[in-house]
Chains A and B, each alone.
Chain A
Amino acid sequence: MAEKGLRDFFLAEAEEHLVVLEKGFLELERNPYELAGIQELFRAAHTLKGSAALVKLDTINRVAHNLEDVLESIRDGKTPVTKPVVDWLLHTLDAIKLLVSEITRGEPETSEIADEVEKGLKEILSTEEGAKAAATEAESPAREKRPLPPRKREEADVLSSYVRVHVDNIERMMNLVGELTVLKNSLMTETRDILDLKDEIEYAGGRLMREISDFSSRYSYSIPDKITYVDSLLEDFRELEFDRYDELNLFTHKLHEIMDDITEALKDSAGFLARLSEHIRTIDRINTEMRDLISRSRMVEAGRLFHRFTRTIRDLAHRSGKKVRFTVSGTDTRIDRVIFERLFEPLLHIIRNAISHGIESPEERLSRGKPREGRISLAAKREGNSVVIDVKDDGRGIDLKAVYRKAVRRGLLKKDERVGKGRLLGILFSPGFSTLEETDMTSGRGVGLDVVREIITEMNGRISVATSEGKGTIFRIRLPLTFIIVNIVRFSAGGMEFAVPSSLVQELMEVEPEEYDPEAGTVALRDTRIEAKDICSLLGLSPGERGEKPPAIVFNLMPGKQVALLVDAIAGQEETVIKPLGRFLEGLKHYSGVSISAGGKLMPVLNPVALLEQPLDAVPPRPEAKEVELRRTVLIVDDSLSIRKFVSMILEQGGYRVFTASNGMEALTVVDEHPVDLIITDLEMPVMHGYELLRELQRKGVSETVPVVILTSRGSEKHKEKAASLGARKYLVKPFEEDSLIETVRECLESTQLT
């Protein structure tokens, strides 16, 4: 267990060293005299060797040791950087990668790999002598250029301030922050409630005070002088009244005092509440900051992704006999780890296409007045809450005429249909546009671009393309900065609240009733008609109340393709944390997760791509293991085993649940024990024949609700009439057609559903 943990640690570390080494070797190849970076490479090999030894990966240890030796010898000027040396370095790197992937899969190391590496090393060492002289002259200036020591120290400082954290831990921290957010939100609403309560108490206090003063003033007004007392005895009363007045006065005075106390206490508590709200606001701020920091820590530099292509491009260009210069920019742009991992394949597709179909051969380039070397560049930049990645080449561009011809051939466009450039480029991403590599050779590009788009939209991103004939092509990928905090558009439909990621929303619109055609499923948007779907019918909900012009969300699903989604009402836009639905529900592709709002309320986040593009029977398949939903049940009564089996098979394939019985008696037992929706019975059977069964079912009142179908070899009218008189709904004669049986069953069940 401990060793397994250590190995994981090693694997994570190895990947980084390999990236450093690969980048360095390729740099060395481009610039054999620039040896300033060699120390870093030496250290990477050295650490790799040490770590491998620690977790007892002997072969990696051995290979890395060889690598370390050669790098040391290059560093010390003993071995010149020649083509065979660089090739050996790259080959050795591949060997280590191979070994690492074996370990990742849990397989043992193939020790022969080390033998091969050593054999290769011997070969270069034997040819080294001759090459040495050539290298020595070039070596010295490189060393003078940049003194090693200061840079080394700087790097050491940087390295010592890093620790390695498992991604799971970051994820867990993020979840905890999510919980804190929810708690903080409810604390905020609660303090608001208390503040309201305080206001109410203050108001009630004020009323009390007013009542008291009203009362006392009325009282004091009514007593003196109003009544003229003639009797001295009454004068005494007056005295008495005064006493009582005093008492009341005292009482109201006391009430005033108490009220003052209450007001004072309220003031204190108001101060306390103000401080509390202030603290909660601080918590809110810290929480947001923490959330940002944690989500940033699961981000990686785009450069790490880009450098993975250096080698691929070199190899591909070499193989196709083309010259390609690969440049990167915006390498320090930070992208989410998930994007990092999932973007490799799509980018590789695009780059591969660019090399094989975009970049021309050196001769062709020269004849067109372009530099011999083609250019491919990868650039990343941040735009607001998105990351934009451009893949650019300066090749021949996409042949739009060829795309058009092919789209017509594939039935994606009608012959002579007029389309704009945008629409044509959009077709490149359509499923089915190009499925085979060889067909692609004739038409320009498009290998697996539908897959590329699929991967990108799954990450709530968008891809677009621009091309210029003879000048080149740019693919632009726009992705949300992170997957945890996403900007969403909230809306309601059928009494429920949903959200969609704003990154896919092009605009919100109001649908003029006369411009919406529900039958054709289109709506007018400015001067074009676009596809329109109703969220309620997609999700099987009954629409809630809608205004005269119901709102719709317009999605830009692929270049040139917009779809409007009609909803009940738009509720707003906000930043939110989206959590995945988890493995149990991951098959529900039309949801990209769930948003948890203040107070812990859940809101499903829809995935518009899956929702709008998949056929409407998007209900996921039910688990096969057990009957899950309430399927309609059919009872088959027949004394022939083969008929029972055959009919069962047909009905089971049709999605029905089937019971069987070999005679009327058994059938009655089944009916008693299980709810049955339909009975199919033979007439001639031992023990209890079909007519008896019909009579019994009629007596029990079963045939009133459960239709009975006769399936018999007796085809005469006499039998049919008798069966009908006993309550049989339908009459089928053997031999029968599979389809007519299914049809009959369906009809009978439908008619019972109606009643």
Chain B
Amino acid sequence: MVEETDTPEGNRETHEEEYATPDLRACTFSVGERVYSVDMEYLRGVAELTEVVPLPLSPAYVEGIAPLRGSAVPVVNLAVLKETPEEKAPERWLIVLEVEREFLGIAVNEMPDLSEDYKGEFIDVPEFFETYRVR
């Protein structure tokens, strides 16, 4: 896993870069004017976020659960979590992440981008999952 990231060897092969398809390894998005990146490895899709069912008595950053293909995904509101308030757009998206067959969604106002580089704050998905899961 570690070897796959930028190594000196990778740089030596720059002459091949032209032909190679871009290696999209980051999914970047912004919440409350802050930019975040997650590893594509954990991205399972981006879905239209139509309805979030709130769960009373859950932490403020858990906006609720959203339906996804016959199942329910927890929806995390990063604006609340990171204390960077923003207004919810009328149409939002859900970035669906998967950690060891468990799903987690991050609600965003704008469609996220896929890019070759990580931008803004990097979110380590398994660590994020462990830190913020409700115990």
Contacts and interface: CB of A to CB of B under 8 A. Distances in A.
B65 A540 contact: no
A625 interface: yes
B59 A596 contact: no
A594 B62 CA distance: 15
B67 A602 contact: yes
A461 to B, nearest CB: 24
Contacts of B83: 627, 630
A582 interface: yes
B131 A588 contact: no
A90 interface: no
Interface in B81-109: 81, 83, 102-104
B132 interface: yes
Interface string A681-694: 00000000000000
Contacts of B35: none
B71 A579 contact: yes
B113 to A, nearest CB: 25
B72 A594 contact: yes
Contacts of B102: 582-584
B58 A620 contact: yes
Interface stretch (A178-186, A519-527, A564-572): A178-186
Contact of A182 (B56, B57, B60, B70): B70
B20 interface: no
A754 to B, nearest CB: 22
Interface residues of A, number: 42
A485 interface: no
A628 interface: yes
A622 interface: yes
A601 B70 contact: no
A584 B57 contact: no
Interface in A373-401: none
A603 interface: yes
B133 A586 contact: yes
A581 B67 contact: no
A580 to B, nearest CB: 9
Contact of A594 (B65, B131, B135): B65
A540 B57 contact: yes
A673 interface: no
Given A585-B55, A588-B57, A628-B60, A623 B132 contact: yes
B71 A584 contact: no
Contact of B70 (A539, A596, A620, A629): A596
Contacts of B71: 175, 178-179, 579, 596
Given A584-B134, A594-B65, A622 B59 contact: yes
A603 to B, nearest CB: 7
Nearest to B131: A625
A634 B122 CA distance: 29
A588 B69 contact: no
B61 interface: yes
B36 interface: no
Nearest to A599: B67
B54 interface: yes
Which of B61, B65, B66, B83 has the largest count of A CB atoms less than 10 A from its CB? Answer: B65
Given A584-B133, A587-B135, A625-B131, A602 B65 contact: yes
Given A581-B65, A581-B72, A620-B59, A626 B131 contact: yes
A508 interface: no
B129 interface: yes
A591 interface: yes
B63 to A, nearest CB: 12
B60 to A, nearest CB: 5
Contact of B57 (A539, A623, A628): A539
A583 B72 contact: no
A628 B81 contact: yes
Nearest to B59: A622
B134 A587 contact: yes
A585 B53 contact: no
A315 to B, nearest CB: 38
Contacts of A625: 131
Contacts of A596: 67, 70-72
A182 B72 CA distance: 12
A600 B67 CA distance: 6
Nearest to B69: A179
A446 interface: no
A322 interface: no
A583 B81 contact: no
A581 B74 contact: yes
Contacts of B103: 582, 584
Contacts of A604: 53, 55, 65
B72 A584 contact: no
Given A175-B70, A539-B57, A585 B62 contact: yes
Interface string A521-543: 00000000000000000011100
A590 B131 CA distance: 21
Given A579-B72, A627-B83, A496 B54 contact: yes
Contacts of B74: 581-582, 584-585
B23 to A, nearest CB: 26
Contacts of A586: 133-135
B57 A619 contact: yes
Contacts of B56: 494, 496, 539-541
Interface in A600-634: 600-604, 618-623, 625-630
A620 B60 CA distance: 11
Contacts of B66: 602
A621 B55 contact: no
Interface in A691-720: none
Contact of A629 (B51, B57, B59, B134): B59
A629 B54 CA distance: 17
What are the nearest 10 A-B pairs in CB distance? Answer: A179-B70, A587-B134, A539-B56, A587-B135, A178-B70, A600-B67, A182-B70, A583-B102, A594-B72, A602-B53
13 contacts: A175-B71, A180-B70, A496-B54, A539-B56, A585-B62, A587-B134, A588-B55, A602-B66, A620-B58, A620-B134, A623-B131, A628-B61, A629-B59
Given A581-B74, A584-B103, A594-B72, 12 more contacts: A175-B71, A181-B70, A541-B56, A582-B103, A583-B102, A583-B133, A587-B135, A594-B65, A619-B57, A628-B59, A629-B61, A630-B60
